Structure 1
Amino acid sequence: MTNLPELKLIEALKQVDAHGDVAPPHVQDPTTMVIRQLAVQADLMRWDGDRGRFVLTSTGRSRISKRASSTGTVLRFRSREKDGSSARQKV
């Protein structure tokens, strides 16, 4: 199972590295603005006043490079059967 928000964030960070922002300037949808704000708050990118664009921080670059990491993976466990037959019973 893939983590869709994480994949969107990684793709947005790649756009920052290539173009200076998560989306072109004419795109002002709420999702783009939320991704931009989350990336700034998480210290993945910052505004560079000299260049007039966003740049990736070292944290952002490492996030792109280890996108296959399993640290944020949610595992699903099988639930016990309702009748309790699979559970060990005390004698």
Structure 2
Amino acid sequence: MPLTDEEIDRLARKRTNAKLGWYMHLAIYVVVNLFIFAMSQHAFGQRPWSVYPLLGWGLGVVLHGLSVFVLGSGSGLRERMEEREREALRRRQ
């Protein structure tokens, strides 16, 4: 079923907002972790504690990116999975 122009606009806005949200998340991650790394090197000696927030938050950034670019609406993967589910449900009826 083809999408209407309004549905296309709404979906485009939704995808754009999701991608911009991820880019903002990534930018904040980089800036804050650079600050934390600099602090850990200069203010507190050379203790490697700054790697923990880097790795923990980094995992969050990666998962956020996966949800936006791989699993998000319009990624292709989601649509293929939904179509497979529709076909399976139709076969069961």
User: Is the TM value for this pair above 0.5?
Assistant: no
For normalisation by structure 2, the TM-score amounts to 0.31
Higher normalized contact order (CA 8 Å, seq sep 6+, divided by chain length) = 2
More strand by share: 1
More helix by share: 2
For normalisation by structure 1, the TM-score amounts to 0.31
